């Protein structure tokens, strides 16, 4: 009990005069929320609880924050930063298809096939040996040769089809054959592409036949050792044209 300035006693009002609780505001729509606020305000006036004004304002503020958070007012999740992935330059092979363009020279826009001998033909330039070279190296050489005819030529070379990057798997594997690959693969990966070894395959006698231009050499591979995590250095990356023999 307290005595008012008029000298009359007035019963203390509790916060139960407000008809809406904080829990009731969770999940309501904005329209419903403001309806509750108006209802709260009317109840506040009817209670005549001027002594609780600061409590009312505090409750209203808390309810407003709760209603906003219930409706997903939030900052978007930050996207993870990604670092550029470094890739090795692709070495051109016979059977690949490349496109050569020269800025402001539409008649020199050419799509050419890398011949079995590793070369291509290009207007004004003639023969260019491209096997084993990157498209950047080929573009630089073509640009250097065209400079004899075109002032400061801007040459762009792009790979259209990588039909030349083939490896061969033969012998006691589930699916022997020719495999066109668009990335470097190891011996174990090539065996996996061929469906794995058959039950009677010689795991200790696998070899890779590689053509080094004028000569051909045999590279031994022990499947059993690599399978057990030993001598992993022999699980080499295959080169285009390699033949994997599984006896």
pLDDT per residue as tens digits for the range 23-39:
554 555 555 555 655 56
Please report where in the chains the tokens 């606020």 appear, as a residue.
37
Provide the residue ranges of all domains of the chain, joining segments of one domain with +: 2-70, 97-161, 166-246
CA-CA distance, 52 to 14, in Å (whole number)? 9
> What is the predicted pLDDT for the residue at 79?
34
For 97-161, the fitting CATH number among 3.40.50.300, 3.30.1950.10, 3.30.750.80, 3.90.45.10 is 3.30.1950.10
pTM greater than 0.75 = no
Higher-confidence residue of 82 and 159: namely 159
> What is the predicted pLDDT for the residue at 236?
97
Is pLDDT of 203 > 60? Answer: yes
Q: What's the distance, Cα to Cα, between the start and end of the chain in Å?
A: 103
Please state which of the ranges 27-31, 89-93, 196-200, 226-230 shows the lowest mean pLDDT. Answer: 27-31
Higher-confidence residue of 200 and 36: namely 200
Do 97-161 and 166-246 share a fold?
no
Please state which of the ranges 28-42, 93-107, 158-172 shows the lowest mean pLDDT. Answer: 28-42
CA-CA distance, 25 to 202, in Å (whole number)? 74
DSSP annotation of 242:
-
> What is the predicted pLDDT for the residue at 37?
56
Is pLDDT of 75 > 50? Answer: no
Q: Which helix H or strand E contains 52, and what residues bound it?
A: none
- The fourth-level CATH superfamily of domain 166-246 is Outer membrane lipoprotein wza domain like (3.10.560.10)
> What is the predicted pLDDT for the residue at 237?
95
Strands laid side by side in the 166-171 sheet: 177-180, 166-171, 243-246, 206-211, 216-221
């Amino acid at each position: 009990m307290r005595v008012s300035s008029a000298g009359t006693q007035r019963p203390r009002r509790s916060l139960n005069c407000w008809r809406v609780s904080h829990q009731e505001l969770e999940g309501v729509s904005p329209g419903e929320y403001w309806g509750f606020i108006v209802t709260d305000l009317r109840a506040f006036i009817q209670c005549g609880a001027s002594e609780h004004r600061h409590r009312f304002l505090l409750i209203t503020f808390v309810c407003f924050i709760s209603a906003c958070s219930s409706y997903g007012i939030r900052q978007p999740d930050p996207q993870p930063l990604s670092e550029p992935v470094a890739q090795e330059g692709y070495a051109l092979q016979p059977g690949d298809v490349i496109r050569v363009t020269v800025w402001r020279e539409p008649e020199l826009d050419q799509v050419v096939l890398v011949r079995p001998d590793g070369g291509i033909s290009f207007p004004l330039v003639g023969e260019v040996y491209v096997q084993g070279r990157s498209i950047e190296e080929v573009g630089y050489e073509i640009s250097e040769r065209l400079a004899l005819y075109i002032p400061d030529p801007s040459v762009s070379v792009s790979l259209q089809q990588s039909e030349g990057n083939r490896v061969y798997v033969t012998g006691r594997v589930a699916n022997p054959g020719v495999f066109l690959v668009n990335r470097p693969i190891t011996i174990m990966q090539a065996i996996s592409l061929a469906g794995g070894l058959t039950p009677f395959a010689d795991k200790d006698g696998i070899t890779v036949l590689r053509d080094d231009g004028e000569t051909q050499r045999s590279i031994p591979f022990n499947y059993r050792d690599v399978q057990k995590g030993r001598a992993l250095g022999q699980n080499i990356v295959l080169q285009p044209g390699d033949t994997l023999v599984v006896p």
